Structure 1
Amino acid sequence: MNPPLSRTNAEAHLYMDLHACPCGSTRFPRNSAVVALPDGDLASRYTGRCAGCGEEREFLFRLPATPGGAGAGFRYGGDEPSQLLDPGEWLFVADAYAGSVPAESTGEAGQRAKAALTRAVAALDEVVKFVPAGADSVPADAFSSEQGRQLHQREPGRFRRDRLAAVRAAYAGLLS
């Protein structure tokens, strides 16, 4: 068994949020533990009963040799592309977070809007990690999920480096 690498807890929780139980629910109380893998590496195990149907859920993610996501601001991982989510899933996440921000936000709603935009920017940063050095866009073979492939087929221009940078700059501008 070789579980996928999760660079940060935030990335692991996002993955679980995006991968629903067969009943359709994504909610479950997440009990977590660090476990040793047969090869000696460490992994995070998340378990709990689905809030929708009661089915036991379990996710196992390999931990990085050195913790990622360090640095200024919120990040889902280090400099390498995600092994959990493909660029289309990351763009879906960025869209969802940005789409949850109301036009006018003050007080507590303003804080929630800022958190959502911060996560939208971090998700766009993840998409860019799939653009090879010297290339203008994410290559078609980087999409491993059905959702990611469909988004890329519908709107391939959204995965161009310059367009991703422009959207990121707009979101970051709203944060200022």
Structure 2
Amino acid sequence: MPERGRARSLAEAHVYLDVVVSGGSARPSVAETPDGWLVRAGGLEVVVPYEAEQEARRSRATFGTGVSELLDPGQWVLVGATYASRALEGGLFHTADPSADPGRFHTVVADWTYAADAVAEALKFLPEGAGGLPPEAFWTQLGRSARDAEPGRFTRAKLESDLAFYRQSLADFRHLHTEDA
């Protein structure tokens, strides 16, 4: 029987499987069950209860409400950086020739949104009043490695700065290119 986790949204399930399945190359399958969606890839299964997905949509929380049990803050920061990198690259191509790919505008907007939302997920792990994420918040090898390599990346100030930058980049891109969409 495959290893099974519980996600707070379909988006979290997909991101989790992208992170943990070797190379993120396995295309997940989604099946409906009586209790929720079952998302599978690379020998892993993630259950997304219907009520969790509904709550995520109601609250406009891309990855779900509450704190993730699947991804640690180090992984969320890396996910955010990956989406930001994609947004920067896509934004450059879109700016160079907005007519080349009509869907690129929406892809860049989604990438900046996911980048910001991923960093917001990492911030959920910060204890009240703490200046940085505590070592015990990192339970995966990938998350601990990221923290060990760049501990300054996991301070409250840096996370809030990254979140503000991603949100401002999204706003700027929309402002400059809305007519292109």
> TM-score under structure 2 normalisation?
0.76
Output one character per residue of 1:94-124: Cα deviation in whole Å (capped at 9) or x when no partner: 0101111225234432321111111000000
> In the aligned structure 2, how far is the partner of 1:4 from the partner of 1:47?
10
Output one character per residue of 1:60-98: Cα deviation in whole Å (capped at 9) or x when no partner: 3262755432356562111x2100100011011001011
Distance 1:85 1:25, change over 3 A: closer
Checking the alignment, whether the CA contact within 8 Å between 2:18 and 2:24 is kept in structure 1 is no
Checking the alignment, whether the CA contact within 8 Å between 1:43 and 1:60 is kept in structure 2 is no
* Paired amino acid for 1:44: W
| Number of residue pairs aligned between Structure 1 and Structure 2 | 160
Task: Give the CA RMSD over aligned residues.
Answer: 2.6
How far the C-alpha of 1:18 sits from its partner, in A, is 1.4
Can you give the 5+ residue segments of structure 1 that lack an aligned partner in the other structure?
36-41, 51-56
Checking the alignment, whether the CA contact within 8 Å between 2:4 and 2:44 is kept in structure 1 is no
Matched-pair identity in %: 29
Report matched runs for 1:13-162 at 5 Å.
Answer: 13-21=14-22, 24=23, 26-35=25-34, 42-47=35-40, 57-61=43-47, 63=49, 66=52, 67-71=54-58, 73=60, 75-78=62-65, 80-101=66-87, 102=89, 104=92, 105-106=94-95, 107=98, 108-162=103-157
Checking the alignment, whether the CA contact within 8 Å between 1:94 and 1:121 is kept in structure 2 is yes
Distance 1:161 1:68, change over 3 A: farther
Can you give the 5+ residue segments of structure 2 that lack an aligned partner in the other structure?
172-181
